[in-house]
Structures are given as structure tokens and as C-alpha cells.
Amino acid sequence: MAPPWSRRRYSGAVLFNIGAFVLPALYATLSKLWVANIDSSSVVITDAYTYMGVVVEVINEGLPRASWLIIGDQSSRTLSTRLGLSYTLILFQSLLGLLLSIVFLTAAPKFAQAFVPAEARELSLRYVRISAFSALASSVETAVSTSTRALDRPDVPLVISSAKFLINILLDLLLISTFHVGSFTPTANTQAAIRLGCDLASSLVGLLYFLSISLKAGRRGTSVPLAPTRPLLSHLLVLSQPGVFTFLESAVRNILYLYLVSSITALGADYATAWGVFNTIRWGLVMVPVSALEAATLTFVGHAWGRWRKEQSLQFVDGASPTTNTDTEEEITVEPRHHQRQPGPQRPTASWPALKTITTPALLSSALALTIEIPLAIFLATYGAHRFAFYLSRSSSVAALTAKMWRTIDWCYIFYAVSTQLAAVLLATKPSWYLAQSLAANLLWVLPWAVVVGRVGVTVEDAWTYHSVVFGGSLVFGFFCVLAAVVGWGWRLRRGRMGERYLGMKA
């Protein structure tokens, strides 16, 4: 048996993922400190990078999130097939990222008008143009990271994060810190150029590292010819089946979020900066354990689901053919594609032990997330949020507003920490149900409140009354939507009410 720190064990994967997530979060925090030291009024400009990332997230949460179900199925696909799927994913996402970068570059004035307060809009144009090609870097990095995690190689995202962090810190110290070299005066645009260069360099480092280890794996001796490992249109079609659901889920969620953000930036620099600082704290270092646990949950739920599907001896609609190996074995035996099957609809039924095996990573991650997030949230609410916000913004008014935001809705993120792990069960097994629970939360809660916010004409004085209900309430409402969906998923699986078509198999 592999040691606990092995990347093929849940505990080892969590450790690797913590390292991969903590470094970018740490740098995102430090970058705001650098910019605040340069010019505290420019901190709000850096949020343009964040909102640009939200747009990129729509494509990054499309096909890449299909990795857990498709590439993570090590029981029904050979290693070479999984590598070919990974190459196809990376190539397709790179093209989408390049296209989106060109759009950002040409539409910089409109983007700044929508997501930067009026008083900082003119200064932000160059920042947006410099950061435009971060979409390309992000799409490559995300495709490489998700596919390699599904391949039980969380060391690849760790290499990407380490390279990015080290290069960023070195260049920041040399060029924009208080003791930088040279006599020039650094600006927020200097920091943007450094970040873009490091994003592109680190994504290239990760891609080359992945290619080197996958080529070594592909040269293993086998008794039968391996499937092609080059990018193929057929691989894209396989990924697109679950990828359609994840893309639609991300598109609906992020469009509503960006609509609300545009109303936030219209309320002035202090309010917009406070919201950006709040997100830097909440979605930065504080959320690292949740993100690391989610990545491990998705990986191991995907593996368990693949094993269970193979045990049903059903032929999959996505083109997988059952095999007797895992990707750690050199000898691969491919079973016949066509099985003798009983007439009539297939109704596979999961036993309680099977359900337990599939959901254990999510339940364990939920318990660990609660253990970490509850004390951390209490500490920051009572002591650290105001101080942390002041360090990031260098503004007393922004720090006070950020602390108010934190005290009001941070408890809601405890629900989010658990719902993220539970939703991973749906994402790694049945993406259409993942889409359904997300649509329920966004269309039944976020959309009505977004309409209210747009019609009542909120002011700075009463804006947080509405926004706290929208953002905090969506997390709590979303938790119950996820919980209901997971319970329904388990009940249908246990009662044998999932046919082949339901499971992503041929009818």
C-alpha cells in the first residue's frame, strides 16, 4: 500500500493540493500589499484582474470540469486514452483562452467602464490591456491542472504554483517593492506586467513538465497497442458531453455575479475596494483548505464512480471500454467492447457499501472543512478582518466596511465549505444534476434579488443590506439545494431508478 503522503492516496492528494492552492492565494494577497504601498488609490484597479478572471472562469469551468468524470475514470480507460483526452483538453482550452485574450484587448474601454469605478477608470485602461493575455495563461494552467489531478498527478499543479510564486516574488522584490532596483517609480501597471509574464511562464513550465512525465509513461512496454495519445476530435466530443452541463452552470452563475459586480463598482471606489478586499481575504488564503479538499474529493469520487460503472458491465456512451488495469500497471488487457446483455432497460442498483465508497471522500472533506473553517471564521470576525483589510487597502474607511461585510455574511461560507464538497459528488458522477442544483440556487435566489437590486436604486448607505442578502443568502440556499440533489442522487441510485442513459451510458 502506498504511504499516506503518496499522491495516489486521499491524504497525499490533499497535501499536494494545499501546496498548489496556497501559493497563488498568498501571492494574490501580497500583490495587493505591493500596490497599496505604491498608491492606495490604485488597489481598486487590481480588481479588474479579478473580474477578468471571472469571465475566464466560464471557459475554465466548462470542459476542464469534465476531467473528473472522463479523465478520472481510470477503471474504464487506458492510460494512453486518458493522456490523449488530456492533450485534447489542453489544446482546445488554449485556443479558447487566446480568443478571449484578444477580446479583452480590443474591448478594454468597455470592460473598464463596467467593472472599474469612474474615478479610477482612465488609469485602469492600460492595466486591463496588459492583463488581457492572462486569459490565455489561465486557460492553459487550468486545463493542465485539472487533467493532471484527474490523472493522480497533483504534483504538476504544485510545480505550476511554485514556479509562479517564486518568479513573482523575485520580480516584485526587484521591481516594485519599497527597495526595488533602479530609479524608476513603479506603478500598478508594473505589477500587472510582472503578473502576466509570470502567469505565462508558469503555465508553460507546467505544460512542459506534464509532457515530460506523460511521454515517459507512454513509453512503457505493453502487450497490445495503446490508443493514440495525440489530440483527437473524438476526444473533444467525449469531453463535451458532460462539459456542456458544467459550461452552462458556470455561465449562468458568473453572468449573474458580474451583473451584481457592475452595480457594486457603480457605488464608488471605497465600496468597490472593500468588496475586492473582502474577496481577497475570503477567496484567498482562507479558502485554500476548502479548494484543496474539493480537488481531492473530485479526484477520488471520480475514481470510485468509474470503478462502480465498470462493475455494472455496461457499455458507456462516452466511448470508454472496460479494462482490467489501472494506470500503474504496464500490462493492459482490453476486454471485448460488446457484452451479452439482457433485453429491456438496464437498472443498475448501488448497494449501501457502494454508495459509501463513492461518497466517503466528500464526507471526509466536509468534516475537515468544518474543523478548519469554523475556528478561522470566528477568529477573523472577532479580531483579524479589520486589521487584515487595512493592511491590504491602507484605508480606514475601506477596512471598516470590509470588517462589516465579514461579520455579516462570513458564517454563510461555512455552509459553502460543506456544499462544495457535497456538490463534488454530483460534478464527478452526474454533471447534469450538478447543473440542476446550481440553476435552482441561482434562478430561485440570486436572479430575483439581482432584479430587486437593479430596480430599487441602492445607495452606498443601504447597498450592503441588499448585497448581504444576495451573496450570503445564495450560499445558504445553495447548500440546501446541493443537499437535496445529493440525497436524490443517492436515493435513485439505491432504488435502481437510474438507467444507462441516466448514468451517461447507452440506452
Report whether pLDDT(207) > 60: yes
d(CA 244, CA 420): 20
Express each pLDDT in 381-405 by its tens digit: 888 888 888 887 888 888 999 999 9
pLDDT at 47: 75
Please give the full DSSP string across 96-156, using - where no structure is assigned: HHHHHHHHHHHTHHHHHHHHS-GGGHHHHHHHHHHHTTHHHHHHHHHHHHHHHHHTT-THH
Q: What is the CB neighbour count within 10 angstroms for residue 429?
A: 26
Which one-letter DSSP state was computed for residue 323?
Answer: B
Torsion sign over Cα 391, 392, 394, 397: negative
Instruction: Report which of residues 445 and 178 the model is more confident about.
Output: 445
Residue corresponding to grid cell 530609479: 183
**Phi, psi angles (nearest 5°) of residue 316:** -85, 145
| CA max distance for the chain | 80
pLDDT at 339: 44
pLDDT at 41: 62
| Residues counted in the chain | 507
d(CA 235, CA 272): 43
Read off the pTM.
0.85
Q: What is the dihedral of CA 334, 336, 340, 343, to 10 degrees?
A: 90
Q: pLDDT class for 313, splitting at 50, 70, 90? A: low
d(CA 393, CA 494): 52
pLDDT at 30: 74
Q: Which residues pair with 323 in a beta bridge?
A: 334
> Measured between alpha carbons, how far is residue 374 from residues 27, 124, 190, 299 in Å?
24, 37, 38, 25
Q: Which residues pair with 334 in a beta bridge?
A: 323
Residue 481 is which amino acid?
Answer: C
